[in-house]
Amino acid sequence: MDAWWQCEIPYPDVAKNITDAADSVRASLPNSYCDPATAARHFDEVMDEFAYCDEVGMNVVCIEHHAGINSMIGSNPMITGALARQTKKVRVLSLGTLVSLRPDPVRVAEEYATADTMLRGRFDIGFVKSGGTEMASANMQPVNNEERFWEAIDLVQKALTSHDGPVSWEGKHFHHRHINIWPGPYQRPMPPMWAATGDPRSAAEVGRRGFRHVLVLRGPEGTKSAYEAHRNARREAGLPKVTTDNFAYAAMVYVGDTHDEGVEVGSQLLWFLNTSLKSAPQYNKFLPGAAPPQAAPGLYRTKPKVDAGIGFKDAEKGVTTASQNSQKLMALTAKEAMDQGILFAGSPDTVHKQITEFYDKVGGFGHLVLIGRSGHMTHAESMKGIKLFGEEVLPRLREIAPIEVG
């Protein structure tokens, strides 16, 4: 098993009375609450943490989110480009430019090919569907977001793999008559591809495409069923079996000297769930396309006749939407988060145990993505967690070799 560290570079410094009073901490919270000097300090610290991951031999991940306290990485290519020079040996995963929010996937392919070239092939490309508040922030149509997502990926791949002069694209969502990027990607035919998705339909598509499939904070049942949907789709399409190397899981992870220290400091990561996910109803439950029309009775009634069923049970069946999943996550305690495999925290030994137990529950995965710093965790705490994980846990995880699953 390999490991990848990431920090979303949040802005946790808005006063609690402000975030409590706001109906959303994303999309509509005025950026007057974001002090530029404080923001710059956060970027400095986290870039140093990424560089430290390179020293301890842990791969790094750069995400993207827009217009909120949860993350200041609105421009993934900027940070990915910086990581290309901040790191010397580890792999860099962009997870990723939100392609369904970008008007021209060819430009995204140019950015990715540039990053791959600067990194001399130490580069993985990941795709994330986006949704929620980002539909407002990016002014993008929410109902056909998923359809746009796959067409954008097709076009990025077309641009990355075409080398004989201009090619053309006239699709439903994207039109580009003269595609001929310079440079092309360093890795041929193209860098390894990842996608983060949890619902069975898109999990099946990830499987058919043979991407590395990453589940983010989905708990054991949701993760297991998404991996299964991935494998089933491959089997039904007559595609070869895959190994655990095709599967990844992203959780909050913190390692302290002792179990209690790891849990205490690691619990600060829950800020991401209980503070930074808050968003107004127009950005989640009423967002067109976010929930299927059949969910409407539970969404609209102020006095629900029947509970709409926000819970992991439904996530397992694949009918819980991402926004319902977030509502459940917002209320999570540290103990619940640890029981659900959302948070792995403790000493090197207890964290290793939690990860391997989760590994067994979901049928194995080859890559662990660490949501390593969030909320009010300090730079020093974060550096310590990276060091202890990298030195005490990662070597043991590396002993877990890929196995065929299917």
Partner 1 sequence: MGNEASTERVTLHGVELEVRRVGSGSTLLFLHGFQPVEPEASFLSLLGRRAAVVAPSHPGFGASTRPKDFESVYDLLNLYSAFIETLPGKVTLVGASFGGWLAAELAVRSCARIERLVLVDALGIKVGPRDVPDILDIFNTHPAKVKAATWADPNKAPDLDAMTDAQLVSRHRNWESLSLYGWHPYLHNPRLSYWLDRISVPTLVLWGAQDGIVKPAYGEAYAKRIPGARFAQIAGAGHHPELEQPDHFADHVLGFLA
Structure tokens at 72: 């200041």
Residue placing its CB nearer to partner 1 in the complex, 67 or 206 = 67
CA distance 127 to 149: 8
- Minimal distance, residue 40 CB to partner 1, in Å: 29
How many residues line the site for partner 1 (CB under 8 A)? 31
Is 32 near partner 1 (CB under 8 A)? no
Residue placing its CB nearer to partner 1 in the complex, 106 or 287 = 287
Is 23 near partner 1 (CB under 8 A)? yes
**Which range binds partner 1 by CB under 8 A, 21-29, 94-102, 106-114, 225-233?**
21-29
DSSP string, 129-184: ---THHHHHTT--STTHHHHHHHHHHHHHHHHH--SS-EEEE-SS-EEEEE--SS-
357: number of Cβ within 10 Å: 12
Nearest to 98 by CA among 68, 119, 125: 125
Structure tokens at 275: 């503070």
Is 27 near partner 1 (CB under 8 A)? yes
Q: Which residues contact 5 (CB under 8 A, 6 or more apart)?
A: 49, 50, 53, 58, 59, 60, 61, 369, 370, 372, 386, 389
Is 303 near partner 1 (CB under 8 A)? yes
Is 299 near partner 1 (CB under 8 A)? yes
Is 25 near partner 1 (CB under 8 A)? no
- Cβ–Cβ < 8 Å for 223, 362: yes
Is 300 near partner 1 (CB under 8 A)? yes
Is 152 near partner 1 (CB under 8 A)? no
Is 20 near partner 1 (CB under 8 A)? no
Please identify which residue in 140, 269, 329, 371 interacts with partner 1, judged by CB under 8 A: 140
Q: How many CA atoms lie within 13 A of 212 on its CB side?
A: 26
Please identify which residue in 56, 57, 286, 349 interacts with partner 1, judged by CB under 8 A: 286
Residues between 68 and 97 that touch partner 1 (CB under 8 A): none
Percentages of the chain per state (helix, strand, coil), in multiples of 5: 50, 15, 35
Please identify which residue in 143, 331, 401, 403 interacts with partner 1, judged by CB under 8 A: 143
Binding site for partner 1 (CB under 8 A): 23, 27-28, 136, 139-144, 172, 280-283, 286-289, 291, 293-297, 299-303, 305
